[in-house]
Every structure is written in structure tokens, then in C-alpha cells.
């Protein structure tokens, strides 16, 4: 019985040893094949052990002529061979496992990365085990340093994956490993492209959402964008979805930007037009700096508010401009037909801006005309003032009652000052008027008329010398516009008519009081004048040829007589008496364009005496006081022409009490 049990145990041990030896041989051969060394030349250094493992000599030990070896010896030989092969197989297996785990992980998350690979590389990827299996194998190798029995268990467990005939992924040769590394690099680069593109798209989309507001985006889309880091799979469909979302939000952003830009442009124009404060503008822009619907509604509300204010201000502005236009029309005496045409164009205007443009263009044209003809109108205004003063002097001189008043001397002195002022100023103003007319008509091409007659013809008729060069002064003096002066502008025939309240630019009274040198031969009016002579003193008792209309009489006089109409023979050109034999003719005529010639010699005359027919004379009382006597009888009998057409001047003498 004991012998039987011993034999049974021996057989069991024999079978276990045989099985172990066979397993060791199969695994060692598989590892050698994976290492690319099927004959063990590089992996097993001992030739006896290498031959024992590879040549199956242990199966025919009974027929071997050599000394037989026991199974335990064979077991020990295979164990030694396995240990030597393990030392080379395990490091190569670990690095291949790590590379395959990387490649498998990349392909699992970015499956579309393999599209750029070659067919041979795609075939290699197709035989890679699952990532979980690779991770388990790697973890088992990394738990601790494996001994012979543990590694044998590991190899037996994953033998089908490691040494399967259809699975060549675990070939541990160097070329195969380099090929796997190359595939990993290509897939990793493509995966980085996918990852960066998805990151860029999502971050850009989130930035736009931050400007537009989260309320404008669906919650599902917002969750997709915020959780892209945790996506398990990122393929082309994921990128397409993110890109489509980005384009949709970007279009909304551009639309909002354009809408906001248009509204802000209008608001800025109205802010500048309405003189809005900088604080209000900066605070408003700071508060509504985003592109949310709330901010756009606020900008739209601000624009509507500014528009309402602008409409009110524009209405007031249009009314003010129309009032200014009407004032300029009245000042320039624009024709009613032109006014009706302008008002009709205003009625046909489409909007307020076009109406405002019409007003501005009309004002610009009117102001240009006012500026162009201001110098002329100023001269005409000054001539009108001188006309009024001349009429005042003439009317005042007709009333002899002024000579009986207590302040008659002041009245006479004032009249004399006015006469001197008119004689001095009128020729200068007319000369300046002629220069301005010439410059204006040449520069503007328009003819300035008065009462249907060209003003330049009137000035030339006066024959006063003025600058022949219209560009005598390139700088025109600025004049204050006279509101009482009107300038009729006729655009059809380029004629500008200066209109005054009086019927003539240069009145009759003004011509009477102007210097005879300027008016004697040229005045169109009938004015009686005396020829002028030298103002040197005459001999006592001799009458002065330049007799005044109103003269002072001597104390002893006959009864004054009212002078009759002055004969035509008295109206003659100015005669200058000869100074000496070397200067001119005795009867030289002084024309308005001939310089005056004065006598350098002095003629002795007697003290001045009043003419016999004077109606005024001085008397001296016993107390030594001088008294003015006036003969009132027949003062106005049949002598109206004398009073109307004769210049009046008073010669006053100093009275000493």
C-alpha cells in the first residue's frame, strides 16, 4: 500500500515536472520570438542551456548515449534559461506597454487622428488591445519586482495577448518599437491640433458670450462650451459643433456691434450738436459698454431722447434762420418772386436736414452779398446822413428868427461848422464810394444801381477824382453793416440796387454845400453860385467879389434892399488872379481835375464892409455894446428863389464890450 502511494506520488511529480518544463520551454521560446531572437543567440549566453531549450533533447534522454540527466536537472536548466530571458524581455515589454497606452489613450479620445496615417500604420493600430488591458498589464509589472514564479504567472495569464499568432503588437524589436513611437507622435500632434482648436473656439465663444450676455445663449450650448475640458471623445463632429456655435454667436456679435455703432454715431452727433456735457457722455458709455440687449435698449432710448430734443432745437433753429433770412431779404430788398421760389423749395424738402441745408446755403449767399456790398452801403449811408444835415442847414438858414434869439451866435456857429463838415467830408465819401464801386463791380461782376440808374455813372457824373486802380488796396476795411441801407440783388441780370429812403444818393442841399470846385461844372441841379476870389483883405470900401448870402453890415448903412435873382453872368468858372508873370495865365480855369493854383502875393485891401443892399447890419450903442439890426419889411416879397437857391454863410466879428 505504501509502495503504491509512493509510485503514485512519483508519477504525479513526474507529470508536474514535465508540464513545468514544457511550459517553460514554450514561454521562453515565445519571449525569444518577441525579442526578435528566436534562436536565443543574444538572449541566452550558455550554449548547452540554449540547445536544451530549443532542441527538445530532454524528450529523448533515455536513448541518449550520454549520461542521462534527471528531470530536476532539466527543470533547473529551463529555470536558468527563463531567468536569463526574463531579464531582457521585461524592460522591453514595459516600454512598449507605456507607448501603447499613450497611443491607445490618444486614439480613444481623438479617434479621427488616425485618418492622416498610412494603411500599414492603421493596421498596427487596429491590433492594439484595449487600453484597460494594457493598463492592467503595466500595473502588474510595476507592483513590485517580480520573481520567477510571479512572472511565470503573469506570462501564463496574458500569454494569448502577448504571444498570439494573430497579434503582432507585442513584437519587442527596436524597429517595431520605433514604428509605434512614430505613430504615437503623429497621433499626438494631431490630437494637440484638435485640442487647441477646440480650446480656441470655445474660449473665443465664451468671450463673445461675456460681451453679449449669457441670456442670449441656450443653457445646453453654454454647458457644452464650459465642459470641453472633460470631453471623453473629441472628434471632427465635436469641432464642427463648436465651430457652428462660434459662428452663430459671432454673427450675433457683429450684428450687435453694427447696431451699437450706428446708434452711437447718431448719439455722438446729437451730443455734439446739443452741447452735451462730457461727464454725461462718459458715464453713459461706461454704463452701457457691453452688447447685451439691455445695453442696446438703453442706447436706443438715449437716441430717441436726443432726437426729440434735437427736433425741438431744430424747429427753433429753423425759425431763427428764417427770421435772419427775412431780415437779409428786407435789407437787400430781394424780389418777391425769388422769395416765393425759395419758400416753395422749402415746402418741397423731404426732411429737416435738407431744409436746414437750404437755409444754410441761402444764408451763406446772403451774407456773402452783404459782405461784398457793405463798403458801398456804408458810403451811401454816410451820404444820406450828410444829405439830412445839408437839408437841415438849408431849412435853418431860411428862418431869420434864429438871429433874434439870445444864442444866435451858437446857432450860426453850428451852421457854419456843419457847412465846413459837409464841404470836407462829402467829396471824400463820394471818392471812396467810386473806388468801392469799381472794385466791387470788377470782382463780383455785378452792377450796383440806384433808382434804376447805375451808381458808378452818378459818381462819374460828379467827375470827382478817385483811384483808377481798383486794386489800390488789397485789404478792404471792415464796416459795420447799416440796417437802414438796402441792397437790391437781381440774380438774373447781375444788378445790385442800393435802396435808400430818400430819392437821391446826393441831394440838392448836399450839392449846394459842397465845394464849388467839385460841383460848379458838374452838378445836375440848378444852383446859383458866385465866383470865388482870393480871400486876401481888400482896400477899405471895396466890395468882396465872393459875397456871402447872409452878410454882416457896418453901423452906417442905407436902407437894405432885397437882392434880386443873380444874373447868369455871375455864374462862371473859378478865376485865380496871377501871382506873377512867371506863373500861368490870369484867367486860368480851375476844373475838378486840375490842381489849385494859389497866389503867393498879397493884395492890400481896406477893411471889410457890408454891401449896400444887406438887410442885416450892426449898430453900436453909446455904452459901446454892439447890436444887430434887421429890416423885416418886404423880406420875402418876390425873392423866394434867393432863399431857395442861394448858399447862406455868416461872417461873425468879435464884439468887445
DSSP code string of 442-486 = HHH--EEEETTEEHHHHHHHHT----S-TTS-SSPPP-PPPTT-E
Comparison of pLDDT for 41 and 417, the residue scoring more:
417
H/E stretch holding 617 reads strand 616-620
How far CA 323 is from CA of 319, 348, 491, in Å, comes to 6, 19, 22
pTM, entire model: 0.46
CA distance 431 to 592: 12
Residue 302: band (very low, low, confident or very high) from pLDDT cuts 50, 70, 90 = very high
At 573 the pLDDT is: 39
pLDDT of 629 over the 70 cut: no
CA distance 178 to 174: 6
pLDDT of 248 over the 60 cut: yes
Mean pLDDT, residues 594-608: 40
pLDDT digits (tens, 9 = 90+) for 216-245: 788 888 888 888 888 888 888 999 999 999
How do strand 447-450 and strand 495-499 relate by DSSP bridges? parallel
How do strand 588-589 and strand 626-630 relate by DSSP bridges? unpaired
**Grid coordinates of 591:** 476844373
Tell whether the torsion through CA atoms of 151, 156, 157 and 159 is positive or negative: positive
Residues listed for the chain: 657
pLDDT of 301 over the 90 cut: yes
Q: Which residues 6+ apart lie within 8 Å of 464 measured at CB?
A: 427, 430, 431, 434, 518, 592
Would you call 605 helix, strand, or coil by DSSP? coil
Q: Which residues 6+ apart lie within 8 Å of 628 measured at CB?
A: 403, 408, 616, 617, 618, 619
At 4 the pLDDT is: 62
H/E stretch holding 496 reads strand 495-499
Mean pLDDT, residues 144-172: 70
Comparison of pLDDT for 514 and 596, the residue scoring more:
514
pLDDT of 628 over the 80 cut: no
Comparison of pLDDT for 59 and 309, the residue scoring more:
309
How far CA 105 is from CA of 100, 121, 130, 611, in Å, comes to 8, 16, 9, 142
Mean pLDDT, residues 627-637: 54
Mean pLDDT of the chain: 70
Tell whether the torsion through CA atoms of 497, 500, 504 and 509 is positive or negative: negative
Q: Would you tell me how many other CB atoms lie within 10 Å of the CB of residue 558? A: 10
Tell whether the torsion through CA atoms of 499, 501, 507 and 513 is positive or negative: negative
At 246 the pLDDT is: 92
Residue 555: band (very low, low, confident or very high) from pLDDT cuts 50, 70, 90 = very low
Comparison of pLDDT for 654 and 306, the residue scoring more:
306
Comparison of pLDDT for 6 and 106, the residue scoring more:
106
Residue 323: band (very low, low, confident or very high) from pLDDT cuts 50, 70, 90 = very high
Query: Which segment of 301-310, 356-365, 631-640 scores lowest on mean pLDDT?
Result: 631-640
Scored b (16 or more CB within 10 A) or e, 519-539 reads: bbebbeeebbbbebbbeeebe
Mean pLDDT, residues 82-89: 78
Q: Would you tell me how many other CB atoms lie within 10 Å of the CB of residue 589? A: 12
Would you call 111 helix, strand, or coil by DSSP? helix
CA distance 182 to 170: 16
Mean pLDDT, residues 311-320: 87
pLDDT digits (tens, 9 = 90+) for 188-199: 999 999 899 999
CA distance 453 to 293: 71
Q: Are 211 and 253 in contact (CB under 8 A)?
A: yes
At 3 the pLDDT is: 62
Highest mean pLDDT among 342-356, 447-461, 582-596: 342-356
Q: Give me the residue spans of the domains in the chain.
A: 16-172, 348-525, 528-570+603-657
pLDDT of 506 over the 90 cut: no
Q: Which long-range contacts (CB under 8 A, 24 or more apart) does 45-50 make?
A: 45/84, 46/80, 46/81, 46/84, 48/77, 49/77, 49/80, 49/81, 49/84, 50/81
pLDDT of 568 over the 60 cut: no
Burial of 585 (0-12, 13-18, 19+ CB in 10 A): exposed
At 304 the pLDDT is: 92
Mean pLDDT, residues 374-396: 82
Query: Which segment of 244-248, 299-303, 650-654 scores lowest on mean pLDDT?
Result: 650-654
Burial of 176 (0-12, 13-18, 19+ CB in 10 A): middle
CA distance 434 to 464: 9
pLDDT of 476 over the 50 cut: no
CA distance 236 to 242: 10
Q: Are 217 and 246 in contact (CB under 8 A)?
A: no
Q: Are 263 and 300 in contact (CB under 8 A)?
A: yes
Percent of the chain residues past pLDDT 90, beyond the cut? 10
pLDDT of 363 over the 70 cut: yes
pLDDT of 299 over the 70 cut: yes
Query: Which segment of 12-16, 47-51, 431-435 scores lowest on mean pLDDT?
Result: 47-51
CA distance 603 to 536: 6
Q: Vertex 545, ends 542 and 548: CA angle to 5°?
A: 105
Highest mean pLDDT among 257-261, 371-375, 422-426: 257-261
Comparison of pLDDT for 198 and 556, the residue scoring more:
198
Highest mean pLDDT among 272-286, 515-529, 610-624, 641-655: 272-286
At 283 the pLDDT is: 92
At 140 the pLDDT is: 76
Mean pLDDT, residues 549-564: 38
Report the interhelical angle of 71-109 vs 2-34 (nearest 10°): 40
Amino acid at each position: 500500500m505504501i509502495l503504491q502511494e509512493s509510485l503514485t506520488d512519483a508519477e504525479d511529480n513526474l507529470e508536474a515536472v514535465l508540464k513545468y518544463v514544457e511550459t517553460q520551454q514554450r514561454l521562453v521560446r515565445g519571449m525569444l520570438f518577441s525579442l526578435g531572437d528566436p534562436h536565443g543567440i543574444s538572449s541566452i549566453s550558455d550554449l548547452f542551456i540554449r540547445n536544451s531549450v530549443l532542441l527538445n533533447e530532454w524528450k529523448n534522454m533515455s536513448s541518449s548515449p550520454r549520461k542521462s540527466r534527471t528531470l530536476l536537472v532539466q527543470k533547473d536548466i529551463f529555470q536558468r534559461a527563463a531567468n536569463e530571458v526574463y531579464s531582457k524581455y521585461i524592460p522591453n515589454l514595459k516600454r512598449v506597454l507605456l507607448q501603447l497606452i499613450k497611443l491607445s489613450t490618444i486614439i480613444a479620445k481623438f479617434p479621427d487622428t488616425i485618418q492622416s496615417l498610412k494603411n500599414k500604420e492603421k493596421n498596427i493600430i487596429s491590433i492594439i488591445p484595449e487600453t484597460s488591458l494594457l493598463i492592467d498589464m503595466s500595473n502588474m509589472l510595476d507592483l513590485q519586482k517580480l520573481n520567477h514564479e510571479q512572472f511565470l504567472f503573469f506570462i501564463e495569464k496574458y500569454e494569448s495577448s502577448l504571444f498570439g499568432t494573430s497579434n503582432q503588437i507585442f513584437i519587442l524589436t527596436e524597429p517595431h518599437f520605433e514604428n509605434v513611437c512614430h505613430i504615437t507622435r503623429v497621433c499626438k500632434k494631431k490630437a494637440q491640433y484638435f485640442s487647441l482648436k477646440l480650446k480656441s473656439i470655445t474660449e473665443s465663444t465664451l468671450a463673445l458670450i461675456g460681451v453679449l450676455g449669457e441670456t442670449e445663449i441656450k443653457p445646453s450650448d453654454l454647458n457644452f462650451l464650459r465642459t470641453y475640458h472633460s470631453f471623453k471623445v473629441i472628434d471632427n463632429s465635436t469641432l464642427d459643433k463648436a465651430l457652428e456655435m462660434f459662428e452663430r454667436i459671432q454673427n450675433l456679435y457683429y450684428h450687435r456691434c453694427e447696431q451699437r455703432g450706428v446708434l452711437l454715431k447718431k448719439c455722438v452727433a446729437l451730443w455734439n450738436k446739443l452741447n452735451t456735457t462730457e461727464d454725461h457722455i462718459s458715464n453713459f458709455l461706461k454704463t452701457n459698454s457691453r452688447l447685451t440687449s439691455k445695453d442696446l435698449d438703453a442706447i436706443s432710448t438715449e437716441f430717441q431722447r436726443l432726437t426729440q430734443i434735437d427736433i425741438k432745437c431744430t424747429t427753433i433753429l429753423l425759425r431763427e434762420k428764417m427770421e435772419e433770412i427775412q431780415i437779409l431779404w428786407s435789407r437787400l430788398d430781394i424780389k418777391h418772386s425769388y422769395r416765393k421760389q425759395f419758400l416753395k423749395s422749402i415746402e418741397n424738402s423731404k426732411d429737416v436736414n435738407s431744409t436746414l441745408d437750404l437755409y444754410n446755403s441761402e444764408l451763406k449767399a446772403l451774407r456773402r452779398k452783404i459782405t461784398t456790398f457793405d463798403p458801398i452801403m456804408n458810403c451811401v449811408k454816410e451820404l444820406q446822413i450828410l444829405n439830412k444835415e445839408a437839408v437841415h442847414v438849408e431849412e435853418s438858414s431860411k428862418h431869420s428868427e434864429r438871429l433874434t434869439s439870445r444864442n444866435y451866435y451858437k446857432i450860426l456857429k453850428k451852421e457854419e461848422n456843419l457847412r465846413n463838415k459837409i464841404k470836407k467830408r462829402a467829396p471824400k465819401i463820394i471818392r471812396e464810394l467810386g473806388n468801392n464801386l469799381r472794385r466791387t463791380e470788377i470782382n463780383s461782376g455785378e452792377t450796383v444801381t440806384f433808382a434804376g440808374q447805375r451808381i458808378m455813372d452818378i459818381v462819374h457824373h460828379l467827375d470827382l477824382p478817385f483811384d483808377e486802380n481798383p486794386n489800390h488796396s488789397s485789404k478792404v476795411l471792415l464796416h459795420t453793416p447799416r440796417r437802414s441801407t438796402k441792397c437790391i440783388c437781381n440774380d438774373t441780370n447781375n444788378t445790385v440796387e442800393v435802396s435808400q429812403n430818400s430819392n437821391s444818393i446826393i441831394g440838392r442841399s448836399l450839392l449846394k454845400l459842397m465845394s464849388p470846385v467839385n460841383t460848379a461844372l458838374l452838378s445836375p441841379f440848378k444852383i446859383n453860385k458866385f465866383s470865388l476870389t482870393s480871400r486876401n483883405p481888400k482896400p477899405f470900401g471895396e466890395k468882396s467879389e465872393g459875397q456871402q448870402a447872409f452878410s454882416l453890415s457896418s453901423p452906417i448903412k442905407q436902407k437894405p434892399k432885397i437882392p434880386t435873382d443873380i444874373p447868369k453872368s455871375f455864374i462862371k468858372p473859378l478865376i485865380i488872379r496871377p501871382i506873377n508873370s512867371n506863373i500861368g495865365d490870369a484867367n486860368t480855369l480851375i476844373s475838378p481835375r486840375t490842381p489849385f493854383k494859389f497866389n503867393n502875393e498879397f493884395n492890400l485891401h481896406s477893411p471889410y464892409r457890408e454891401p449896400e443892399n444887406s438887410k442885416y447890419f450892426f449898430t453900436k450903442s453909446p455904452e459901446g455894446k454892439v447890436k444887430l439890426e434887421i429890416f423885416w419889411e418886404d423880406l420875402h416879397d418876390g425873392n423866394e428863389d434867393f432863399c431857395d437857391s442861394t448858399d447862406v454863410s455868416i461872417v461873425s466879428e468879435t464884439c468887445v464890450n
